[in-house]
A and B are shown apart, each in its own frame.
Chain A
Amino acid sequence: MTTTLLPPVERPTAPPARRRRNPRDRRSTPLTVLLWLCAAYFLLPLVWLVIASTKDNADLFSTFGLWFGERFSLWDNLVSVFTNRDGIYGRWALNTVFYALASGGGAALLSTMAGYAFAKYRFPGSRALFSVTLGAIMIPLTALALPTYLLFNTFGITDTPWAVILPSLVSPFGVYLMRVYAADAVPDSLIEAARVDGAGEFRIFWQVSLRLLGPGVVTVFLFALVATWNNYFLPLIMLNRSELYPLTVGLAQQQLASAQGGGGSQALFSTVITGSLVSIVPLVVAFLFLQRYWQSGLAAGSVKQ
Chain B
Amino acid sequence: MASTTTTHRPTATRRRKQAAAAYLFIAPFFLVFTTMLVVPLGYSLYLSLFQDRLIGGTSFVGLDNYVQALTDSAFFGGLGRMAVFLVVQVPIMLGVALFLALALDSGRARGSKALRLVYFVPYAVPGVVATLMWGYLYGRDFGPIAQLARAVGLDTPTFLDSGSILGSMMNIVTWEYVGYNMIIMYAALRSIPTELYEAAEMDGASQARIAWSIKIPAIRPAILLTVIFSVIGTFQLFNEPSLLDTIAPNAISNAFTPNFYAYNLAFVNQDVNYAAAIAFLLGLFIAVVSYVVQLGSARGERKQESSR
Q: Name A's B-contacting residues (CB within 8 A).
A: 1-2, 5-11, 13-15, 18-19, 23, 26-28, 31-32, 34-36, 38-39, 41-46, 48-49, 52, 60-61, 64-66, 109-111, 113-114, 116-118, 121-124, 126, 129, 133, 136, 138-144, 146-151, 166-167, 169-170, 172, 175, 193, 195-196, 200-202, 205, 226, 229-233, 237, 247-249, 251-252, 255-256, 259-260, 272-273, 276, 279-280, 283-284, 286-288, 291
Contact = CB atoms under 8 A, between A and B. Distances in A.
Given A121-B19, A147-B280, 16 more contacts: A7-B221, A19-B107, A26-B107, A45-B134, A48-B137, A64-B144, A129-B26, A136-B37, A141-B236, A142-B238, A148-B40, A170-B29, A230-B125, A233-B238, A252-B243, A273-B136
Contacts of A149: 266
25 contacts: A8-B221, A9-B187, A10-B187, A31-B103, A31-B108, A32-B108, A46-B121, A46-B125, A64-B144, A65-B136, A65-B137, A66-B144, A121-B22, A141-B236, A143-B236, A146-B266, A146-B279, A147-B41, A150-B47, A150-B276, A166-B36, A170-B32, A229-B126, A252-B128, A279-B129
A116 B25 contact: yes
Contacts of B178: 42
Contacts of A121: 18-19, 21-22, 25
Interface stretch (B69-77, B209-217, B224-232): B224-232
Top 7 closest pairs, chain A to chain B, by CB: A7-B221, A65-B144, A147-B44, A121-B22, A201-B21, A117-B25, A114-B29
Task: State which size class the interface on B falls in.
Answer: 35 or more
Interface of A, secondary structure class, is helix
B133 A27 contact: no
Contact of A140 (B43, B193, B232): B232
A287 B120 contact: yes
Contacts of A231: 126
Contacts of B106: 31
Contacts of A35: 100, 103-104, 109, 115
A2 B295 CA distance: 10
A13 B128 CA distance: 36
B54 to A, nearest CB: 20
Nearest to A18: B194
A144 B283 CA distance: 8
A42 B179 contact: yes
Contacts of B272: 150
Contacts of B136: 48, 52, 65, 273
Given A10-B187, A26-B107, A48-B144, A117 B26 contact: yes
A195 B2 CA distance: 11
B282 interface: yes
A38 B24 CA distance: 49
Interface of B: 1-2, 7-8, 17-19, 21-26, 28-30, 32-33, 35-37, 39-41, 43-44, 47, 96, 100, 103-104, 106-111, 115, 117-130, 132-134, 136-137, 141-144, 147, 175, 178-179, 184, 187-188, 190-191, 193-194, 221-222, 224-225, 228, 232, 235-236, 238-239, 242-243, 246-247, 259, 262-263, 266-267, 272, 275-276, 279-280, 282-283, 286-287, 290-291, 294, 297-298
Contacts of B47: 147, 150
Contact of A1 (B28, B123, B267, B294): B294
A88 to B, nearest CB: 17
B126 A248 contact: yes
B238 A150 contact: no
B129 A287 contact: no
Contact of A5 (B2, B126, B133, B294): B294
A123 B125 CA distance: 42
Given A14-B190, A140-B232, A237-B263, A255 B25 contact: no
Contact of A32 (B111, B247, B263): B111
Contacts of A52: 136
Nearest to A6: B225
Contacts of A286: 124
A43 B119 CA distance: 8
A233 B29 contact: no
B122 to A, nearest CB: 6
Contacts of B37: 136, 139, 144, 170
B262 A126 contact: no
Contact of B142 (A26, A65, A150): A65
Contacts of B141: 61
